[in-house]
Structure 1
Amino acid sequence: MRVLVVGAYGFIGAHITAALTAAKHEVVCAVRGARIDSRFPGLKAVSCDMARDTTISDWLPRLEHIDAVVNCAGILREDGDNTFQAVHEEAPLALFRACVEQGIRRVIQISALGDPADGEFIASKHRGDAALSNLALDWLILRPSLVYSTYGSYGGTSLLRGLAALPWVLPLPGKGEQQLQPLSANDVGAAVVAALATTASTRQVIELVGPEILNLRDYLLAWRRWLGFAAPRIWSIPSFLGRIAAAAGERLGRGPLGQTISRMLERGNIGSADALEHMRSNLGLEPRRLIQVLDESPSQVQDRWHARLYFLLPLLRVSIALLWICSGVVGWWLPDARILHAAPGHALSPDASLVLARTTATADLLLGTLCILRWHSTFVLSLMLAMLLGYTIGIGVLWPTHWLDPFGGLLKNLPLIFALTILIATEERR
C-alpha cells in the first residue's frame, strides 16, 4: 500500500514511518521543505506546510497514486503562523476533503488522549477529529496516551526524563500520585500497521493506552533506574507551587511545561475503562509494560547526557544571554575616559575607539535580548559566536597585552567560544 504520512519526521511520525516501512508499505513523507531525512534515505518526500496548506487544492497534487493517509502532524505550542487552528483543524480538514475528492478512502488520524478542558492543544485536536468524522471516508481516529520511547523523546516525555535525571532529588507535584497509562512509541507504530491491515476497524475512535496505570512517581523512578542513577530523595512540591510553575512556563517558556500539561497530569492521562480491551479487539494489539520495554533496551551514556542536559542547556543559554546584556549595559554606562583608558597603545583614534565601543555595546544588548527570546536561535547564537571571535582576535591583535591580564579577561573568551558552539550543536531538541 502506498501511504502518505503527514508529519513523518516527528517523534510519533518517525516511529509510524519506520513501522510502515518494516511492514513493506511504500511510504511518502509529507514534511516541510520536502527534505530527505537521513533516517529514511530511500523514502520519497513531498513538501507541505500545515500552517498554510489550508485548501483542497494544496493537497490534491500530493495525493496522486496514494492509497491511504496517516496524519501525525501536531504542535504543543503555537508559534507565529503555526497555530492550533491551522495545524490541527484547517490544514487536516483540507487534506481529508482532498482525500474525498481524490477517492482515497482510508485515513488514519493520530490525535491525543485528554479532556478538551485541559487546554487548546487537546481541544483543537478533538475539533479536528470531529470534522474528520463527518466526512464520507473510512476514517480511524487513534488517541494515544503518554507516548515514550527508549530511542528518544519529545515534549512532555523529554521534560519527564529531565526530571527523572535530576541529581540527588526527585521533585514531585503533590505526592506524585497523578495517573498515567504510558504506551511505547513502537506500539503506536504497530497500531497503525494493524489498522491498515484490516477494514473492519473504521469510523471509530480508539484510545491507544498501555497495559498498566502508573502514578507519576513510579513512572519517573522507572526511568531513573533505567538511566542508571541512584535512588533519589523525594521532594513533595505543594500543588499551588506546581501551578505557579506551569503558569510561568505557559507565559515565559516555549517548552512543554505549561498549564495544559499541568491540567492533564492533575486529571490523569488514562483511557476509559474499556480502552485496553477495545484496542485489543479492534487492532489485535498487545501493548508492552513500561518495565518490559526498558529492560529490553538498556540505556547508554548518550541517554544520560540528554536527560541531564535537559535543564542545563536552557540555563547555559540564559547565563550567556545575561552576560551579553550586561556587557552591553556596561559598554553604554562607562564614561568615555574609562573606555579610552582600557585601550592602551592607541591602536585606534579616540573617536574610533568610542564609536567601536558603543556599537559593540548596542550589538551585545540586541543579541543578548534576542537570545533570551529564542528568536531565530541558531542564527543569533552564530552571530554571538562571530562577535566573540571578533573580540578575541581583534583585541588580541590590536592590544596583545590583554593576553597577559592576571585575571584572564581575554583568555576567558575561550571557554565561552566552546559554550556557544555546544548551544549551536544542541539547538535541535526534540
Structure 2
Amino acid sequence: MKVLVAGGTGFIGSNLCEELADRDHEVTALSRSPDDGSLPPGVGSAMGDVSAYESIAETVADHDAVVNLVSLSPLFQPSGDATHEGVHLRGTENLVRAAEDGGVERFVQMSGNGADPNSPIEFIRTKGEAERVVRESALEWVIFRPSVVFGDGDEFVGFTKLVTTPYVTALPGGGKTRFQPIWVGDLVPILADSLEGDEHVGETYEIGGPEVLSLADVTKLAYEADGKSVTILPVPLSLAKIGFTALSPVPFVPFGPDQARSLKMDNTIADNDVTAFGRTEAELRTLGSYLGLERSPPDEAEREVV
C-alpha cells in the first residue's frame, strides 16, 4: 500500500513512518520542510503545506491512503501566522478534498481527546470541526482521539519541566488535572492496523495509556527520573488563568488563556478503545517505565497534594 503521512516528520509521524515501512508499505512523509536525513530508512519525502491545496493535491493523488497527523500543540499558543482553524480545519478540508479528487481510499485522522465543535477551547473546537469534515467525506475514514502521547522527542514531559522547578514548584489547582498518557510505541501500531483491513472503517477510537496520572504525578515522575524530588504548591486556577491571559502577548511566554481553560478539563478516556485492536491496558507501557522508574500506578493517597 502507498501511504502518505501528512506531518510525517513530526514526533508521532516519524514513528508511524518507521512502523509502516517495517510492514513493507511504500511510505512518504509530507512536510512543509522535509529533511530526508531525519526520516527512517526506506521512507520517502514530499514538500507540501496542508493549508495550501495546490501544494499537496498532486502528491496526495498518488497514494492509496492518507494519515493526517498535522497539528498544532495543545500545550502552547500558536506561533507566527499559524492558527488552529487554519491548520486543523482548513488543513483537513484540503487533505480530504485532495484525497477525494485523487482517488484515495483510506483516510486516517488524528484528532484529540474531547474533540468538540462547540468547545470554547480553540484546539478542541477545531479538532471537532475537522472530524465533521472527515465524517462527511466519501472516504473510508478512521478517526483517533488519543490522550497525550509520550516518547523520545515528545513535548509532554518537557512541557511539565518547562512550567515547573525541582524541589518546590507551583501548579495551577495543585496539578490535579488528570491525563492518561500513551507511549508512542504503543500508539503507532494501532494507527498502522487501522490502514490494514476494513473492520475499523467508519469508527472513532478514544485511545489512552494504562494509567491515569495527574499533572502533579507527572511532575514528580519527571524529576524522580533526574534523581530530584519536588513538592507541589497549589495555585488557584482562577489566578492561573489571569496570569496566562496577561502573559499571552509576550513573545517568549508560550501560554495563553486557552491553556488555562484546558487545565480545568481532565484528559482521560472513559472506555479505552485499545481493546478494538487486540490489546489490553495491562500490556501498555507506563510513563514511569519509560522514564526508567519501576513504579505501579499511584493510588489515591499518593495523589493528594500537600
TM-score (normalised: structure 2): 0.84
Output the CA distance in 1 between the equivalents of 2:27 and 2:209: 27
Runs of 5+ unmatched residues, structure 2: 295-306
Change over 3 Å in CA distance of 1:102–1:246 after alignment to 2:
same
Output the CA distance in 2 between the equivalents of 1:239 and 1:293: 30
**Is residue 2:110 matched to residue 1:75?**
no
- Maintained 8 Å contact 1:113/1:145: yes
Following superposition, the deviation at residue 142 of structure 1 comes to 0.7
Following superposition, the deviation at residue 295 of structure 1 comes to 2.9
Q: What are the residue-to-residue correspondences of 1:407-426 with 2, within 5 Å? A: none
**2:236 pairs with 229, 235, 238, which one?**
238
**2:274 pairs with 279, 290, 297, which one?**
279
**Is residue 2:284 matched to residue 1:264?**
no
- Maintained 8 Å contact 1:30/1:48: yes
Partner residue of 2:12?
12
Output the CA distance in 2 between the equivalents of 1:255 and 1:3: 37
Q: What are the residue-to-residue correspondences of 1:16-415 with 2, within 5 Å? A: 16-40=16-40, 42-51=42-51, 53-54=52-53, 57-76=54-73, 77-114=77-114, 116=116, 117-149=119-151, 151-154=152-155, 156-163=156-163, 166-229=165-228, 231-253=229-251, 256-271=254-269, 273-274=270-271, 276=272, 278-281=273-276, 283-286=277-280, 287-295=284-292
- Maintained 8 Å contact 2:237/2:260: no
Following superposition, the deviation at residue 197 of structure 1 comes to 2.4
**Counterpart of 1:238 in structure 2: which amino acid?**
P
**SS of the residue 1:205 aligns to:** strand
Change over 3 Å in CA distance of 1:118–1:253 after alignment to 2:
farther
1:126-181: CA deviations, max 9, x gaps? 111101100111101111111111x2222x542213345x2321322223222111
- Maintained 8 Å contact 2:2/2:25: yes
Output the CA distance in 2 between the equivalents of 1:31 and 1:112: 20
**Counterpart of 1:180 in structure 2: which amino acid?**
F
1:181-236: CA deviations, max 9, x gaps? 1111222212211212231011121111112212221121112112222x223222
**SS of the residue 2:249 aligns to:** helix
Output the CA distance in 2 between the equivalents of 1:293 and 1:173: 26
Query: Is the strand fraction higher in 1 or 2?
Result: 2
Larger Rg: 1
Runs of 5+ unmatched residues, structure 1: 298-430
- Maintained 8 Å contact 1:246/1:259: yes
Following superposition, the deviation at residue 88 of structure 1 comes to 1.1
Output the CA distance in 2 between the equivalents of 1:187 and 1:245: 36
Is 107-116 or 137-146 further displaced after alignment? 107-116
Structure with higher RCO (Cα < 8 A, 6+ apart): 2
- Maintained 8 Å contact 1:9/1:37: no
Identical aligned residues as a percent: 29
Change over 3 Å in CA distance of 1:38–1:12 after alignment to 2:
closer
Output the CA distance in 2 between the equivalents of 1:255 and 1:210: 30
- Maintained 8 Å contact 2:169/2:231: yes
TM-score (normalised: structure 1): 0.61
Output the CA distance in 1 between the equivalents of 2:253 and 2:40: 27
**SS of the residue 1:267 aligns to:** coil
Change over 3 Å in CA distance of 1:38–1:138 after alignment to 2:
same
Output the CA distance in 1 between the equivalents of 2:205 and 2:115: 15
- Maintained 8 Å contact 1:19/1:186: no
Following superposition, the deviation at residue 74 of structure 1 comes to 1.2
Output the CA distance in 2 between the equivalents of 1:85 and 1:37: 31
Partner residue of 1:404?
none
**SS of the residue 1:210 aligns to:** coil
Following superposition, the deviation at residue 2 of structure 1 comes to 1.6
Query: Is the helix fraction higher in 1 or 2?
Result: 1
Output the CA distance in 2 between the equivalents of 1:268 and 1:239: 14
- Maintained 8 Å contact 1:118/1:264: no
- Maintained 8 Å contact 1:194/1:284: no
Output the CA distance in 2 between the equivalents of 1:296 and 1:213: 16
Following superposition, the deviation at residue 115 of structure 1 comes to 5.1
Following superposition, the deviation at residue 5 of structure 1 comes to 0.5
**Counterpart of 2:153 in structure 1: which amino acid?**
G
Is 90-99 or 102-111 further displaced after alignment? 90-99
Following superposition, the deviation at residue 41 of structure 1 comes to 5.4
Output the CA distance in 2 between the equivalents of 1:62 and 1:115: 28
**SS of the residue 1:113 aligns to:** coil
Output the CA distance in 2 between the equivalents of 1:98 and 1:246: 38
**Counterpart of 1:146 in structure 2: which amino acid?**
V
**Counterpart of 1:280 in structure 2: which amino acid?**
T
Output the CA distance in 2 between the equivalents of 1:241 and 1:113: 26
Output the CA distance in 2 between the equivalents of 1:258 and 1:250: 5
